[in-house]
């Protein structure tokens, strides 16, 4: 369908931008932050951290930054920086050892897949075939490290009879890293979405477990990204202070950058010079503000609108008409949502108040919202949750505290309820 619009592919793909040459062209409005990121990675041995709201562009930013560092360090031999193209996540299920196994396997695979280039770039005098044997070992591939009875502490327990010793593999990768890099160089590993650990207490515990092992390894450089203040909160913990840097704040793109974003994608993906994007800069910016500056949600809506245009055979309008259609479509979407939700007046009042506050509140602030207990407020929050207008997430060190945040559908209804008045653009 994108060909009908005159483009090679989806202009509004919601996946993060990759760390490659095209990704570098697509990333707009982050020059200052990129400089800061690279200074932190190259100038310090501590873990670089990134903090920013959901869907703002953290993953894209760090992957492109890593790619630029890799490019700029070509020709620097063992001081080179390599980017591991897939970010890691710290999950609740994985132990520190599971995580280490994943990271080391990814590093080993990266070297094996790029052996020829890396051998000359890093003047690598290290045979990779023992690592290959490890990676092909079915026990290694399928087994969870903890299930196999290993601990980070050193001792190997189970599976000795099969000659399976994970620590042998770790030692081998350590030797590879030592022979590949000097003190300046390293492979850049990104831990993304730290907020999936839910509370900063858990996140802190997980990162502390890695502090003296993975985070201190010769030849590995770390970046940790997260949303909702979790990185900031963890970085200030006693045991991690001095090891985790102060986070780089990623804030929503400016109006100029949004304009640039659309134009850059048009240039990158157009099949002919006069191709007109289904959602041009004006409408994109409008949606971006309606959706509380969440770039991921904005792209999603732009994709949905494009699909609607295509389904209704309207791919060939000029920009002005498309802008008008977009506004009508957006209003129709919110009307359809509106007709389907059943929310009592008290909950609507709360919803409006949450939006006024910027979209996130804590139930412990119940008095501010006219409730005499957080229990009473909880009932109304549940109504909003059932209507998919907000989500509640655990936050902070205290398990009972939650954050209530408005989601995309909620912002669209907010737009409807405020009479489609345009938010400041
Ligand atoms: N600076 C940018 N220029 C152009 N497009 C961007 C930029 N930053 C992000 N995007 C686009 O916005 C979308 C969201 O970006 P990304 O996934 O990096 O955000 P995030 O903050 O990591 O989100 P999440 O909270 O979901 O992890 C992606 O589709 C990406 O292509
Ligand atoms: Mg992300």
Residues in the chain: 425
Q: What is the rounded distance in angstroms from the CA atom of residue 28 to the CA atom of residue 83? A: 20
Q: What is the rounded distance in angstroms from the CA atom of residue 149 to the CA atom of residue 159? A: 8
Please give the pLDDT value at position 142.
Answer: 61
Give which of 305, 338, 349 is closest to 409, Cα–Cα.
Answer: 338
In three-state secondary structure terms, 292 is coil
Long-range contacts of 256-263 (CB under 8 A, 24+ apart): 256/29, 257/28, 257/29, 258/284, 258/285, 258/288, 259/285, 260/28, 260/29, 261/28, 261/29, 262/11
Residues of the chain with CATH 1.10.10.10: 345-417
User: Does ligand 1 lie within 6 Å of residue 28's CB atom?
Assistant: yes
Give which of 148, 407, 168, 162 is closest to 301, Cα–Cα.
Answer: 407
Q: Strand 402-406 to strand 360-361: parallel, antiparallel, or no bridges (unpaired)?
A: antiparallel
Q: What is the rounded distance in angstroms from the CA atom of residue 396 to the CA atom of residue 416? A: 32
Distance from Cα 21 to the centre of ligand 1, integer Å:
16
Mutate to test the pocket of ligand 1, among 17, 18, 195, 261 (most ligand atoms within 8 A of CB): 17
User: Does ligand 1 lie within 6 Å of residue 11's CB atom?
Assistant: no
User: Does ligand 1 lie within 6 Å of residue 19's CB atom?
Assistant: no
Q: Which atom of ligand 1 is nearest to the CA of 29?
A: 1
Q: For ligand 1, atom 25, name the residue with the nearest CA.
A: 54
In three-state secondary structure terms, 17 is coil
With the C-alpha atoms ordered 142, 147, 153, 156, is the resulting torsion angle positive or negative? negative
User: Does ligand 1 lie within 6 Å of residue 60's CB atom?
Assistant: yes
Q: For ligand 1, atom 9, name the residue with the nearest CA.
A: 57
Please give the pLDDT value at position 400.
Answer: 52
In three-state secondary structure terms, 391 is strand
Q: What is the rounded distance in angstroms from the CA atom of residue 346 to the CA atom of residue 371? A: 10
- Give the architecture (CATH level 2) of 345-417: Orthogonal Bundle (1.10)
According to CATH, the superfamily of the domain at 30-249 is: P-loop containing nucleotide triphosphate hydrolases (3.40.50.300)
User: Nearest 10 degrees: CA dihedral of 228, 230, 233, 239?
Assistant: -170
Please give the pLDDT value at position 157.
Answer: 42
Mutate to test the pocket of ligand 1, among 11, 13, 14, 16 (most ligand atoms within 8 A of CB): 16
Give which of 52, 53, 55 is closest to 14, Cα–Cα.
Answer: 55
Please give the pLDDT value at position 418.
Answer: 82
User: Does ligand 1 lie within 6 Å of residue 53's CB atom?
Assistant: no
User: Nearest 10 degrees: CA dihedral of 367, 371, 375, 379?
Assistant: -130
Containing 186, the helix (H) or strand (E) segment is strand 186-192
User: Does ligand 1 lie within 6 Å of residue 227's CB atom?
Assistant: yes
Q: What is the rounded distance in angstroms from the CA atom of residue 93 to the CA atom of residue 99? A: 10
Please give the pLDDT value at position 161.
Answer: 36
Distance from Cα 58 to the centre of ligand 1, integer Å:
6
User: What are the residues facing 49 on neighbouring strands?
Assistant: 224
Please give the pLDDT value at position 421.
Answer: 58
In three-state secondary structure terms, 203 is helix
Give which of 37, 166, 53, 59 is closest to 103, Cα–Cα.
Answer: 166
Full pLDDT tens readout for the chain, 425 residues: 999 999 999 999 999 999 999 999 999 999 999 999 999 999 999 999 999 999 999 999 999 999 999 999 999 999 999 999 999 999 888 888 889 999 999 999 999 999 999 999 999 999 999 999 888 877 776 655 544 444 444 444 444 434 457 888 999 999 999 999 999 999 999 999 988 887 778 888 889 889 989 999 999 999 999 988 888 888 888 888 888 999 999 999 999 999 999 999 999 999 999 999 999 999 999 999 999 999 999 999 999 999 999 999 888 889 999 999 999 999 999 999 988 999 999 999 999 999 998 898 888 888 999 998 888 899 999 999 999 999 987 655 445 556 889 999 999 999 888 876 554 44
Residues of the chain with CATH 3.40.50.300: 30-249
How many C-beta atoms lie closer than 10 Å to residue 268's C-beta? 14
């Amino acid at each position: 369908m994108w060909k009908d619009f005159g483009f090679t592919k989806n202009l509004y793909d919601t996946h993060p931008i990759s760390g490659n040459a095209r990704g570098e062209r697509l990333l707009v409005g982050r020059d200052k932050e990129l400089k800061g990121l690279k200074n932190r990675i190259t100038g310090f041995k501590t873990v670089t951290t990134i903090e920013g709201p959901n869907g703002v562009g953290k993953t894209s930013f760090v992957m492109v930054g890593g790619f630029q560092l890799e490019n700029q360090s070509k020709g620097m031999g063992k001081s080179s920086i390599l980017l591991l193209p897939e970010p890691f996540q710290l999950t609740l299920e994985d132990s520190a050892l599971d995580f280490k196994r994943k990271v080391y396997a990814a590093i080993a695979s990266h070297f094996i897949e790029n052996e020829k280039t890396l051998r000359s770039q890093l003047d690598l005098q290290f045979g990779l075939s023992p690592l290959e044997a490890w990676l092909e070992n079915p026990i290694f591939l399928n087994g969870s490290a903890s299930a196999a009875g290993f601990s980070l502490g050193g001792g190997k327990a189970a599976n000795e009879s099969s000659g399976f010793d994970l620590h042998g593999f770790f030692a081998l990768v350590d030797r590879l890293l030592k022979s590949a890099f000097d003190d300046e160089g390293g492979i850049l590993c990104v831990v993304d979405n730290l907020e999936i650990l839910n509370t900063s207490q858990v996140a802190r515990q997980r990162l502390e477990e890695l502090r003296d092992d993975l985070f201190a390894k010769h030849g590995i450089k770390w970046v940790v990204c997260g949303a909702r203040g979790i990185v900031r909160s963890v970085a200030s913990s006693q045991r991690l202070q001095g090891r985790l840097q102060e986070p780089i704040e990623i804030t929503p793109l400016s109006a100029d950058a949004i304009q640039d974003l659309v134009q850059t994608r048009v240039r990158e993906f157009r099949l002919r010079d006069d191709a007109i994007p289904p959602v041009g800069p004006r409408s994109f910016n409008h949606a971006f503000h309606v959706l509380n500056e969440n770039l991921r949600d904005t792209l999603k809506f732009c994709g949905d609108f494009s699909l609607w245009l295509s389904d209704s055979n309207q791919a060939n309008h000029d920009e002005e008409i498309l802008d008008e259609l977009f506004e009508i479509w957006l209003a129709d979407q919110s009307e359809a949502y509106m007709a389907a939700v059943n929310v009592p007046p008290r909950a609507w009042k709360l919803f409006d108040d949450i939006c006024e506050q910027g979209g996130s509140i804590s139930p412990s602030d119940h008095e501010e919202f006219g409730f005499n207990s957080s229990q009473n407020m909880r009932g109304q929050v549940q109504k909003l949750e059932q209507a998919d207008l907000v989500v509640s997430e655990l936050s902070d060190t205290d398990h009972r505290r939650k954050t209530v945040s408005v989601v995309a559908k909620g912002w669209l209804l907010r737009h409807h309820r405020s009479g489609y008045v345009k938010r400041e653009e």
